[in-house]
Amino acid sequence: MITSNTIQWQTKKFNELNSVELYDLLRLRSEVFVVEQNCVFLDLDNNDQKALHTLGYIGNELVATTRLFEKDIMYDGYQSIGRVVTAQKHRRTGAGKDLMNYSIKECERLFSKGPIKIGAQLYLKKFYSDFGFEQSGEVYDEDGIDHIPMIRA
């Protein structure tokens, strides 16, 4: 477990998540991706079992999470970070930046240093570019939200 500011960070395989952690991450993703973004989509996509999950807690509250994928699982030739989410009340506090820094470092620690590909919501292009991600394709629609492929070499 790593502490960044007041956030306690950890990374777990799907089968290592306890029921509270699993509930917390699914609830946070639902709060943001379904309710806040008003997007009806199937979040439970059978990829959670293939991922490692980052969890950032302040006390007992999950404030941020991602899914990390080894090379070739989500994109041929690339590691991947997905389902990047920070709780609304913790945005603009640095939690999202801490989440991405932690997730990138975990990819490098767990999977070795290599290119990382993401499917980024278009409005977050600048946010991800600050971490070295560059747009690598055209805008596409995913569940009614504009996305772009981005790669960090």
Residue 4 in this model has a pLDDT that exceeds 60: no
Token pair 């080894």 is found at 70
Instruction: For residue range 111-140, list pLDDT tens digits in order.
Output: 999 999 999 999 999 999 999 999 999 999
Q: What percentage of the chain has pLDDT greater than the value 70?
A: 97
Of the listed ranges 38-47, 64-73, 138-147, the least confidently predicted one is: 38-47
What's the rounded mean pLDDT across residues 57-73?
Answer: 97
Domain ranges of the chain: 2-152
Instruction: For residue range 94-105, list pLDDT tens digits in order.
Output: 999 999 999 999
Q: Which residues are paired to 44 by β-bridges?
A: none
Q: Which two tokens stand for residue 48?
A: 């959670």
> Residue 44: what pLDDT?
92
Per-residue pLDDT band at 40 (split at 50, 70, 90): confident
> Residue 113: what pLDDT?
92
Global model pTM greater than 0.85: yes
State in words which class domain 2-152 has: alpha beta
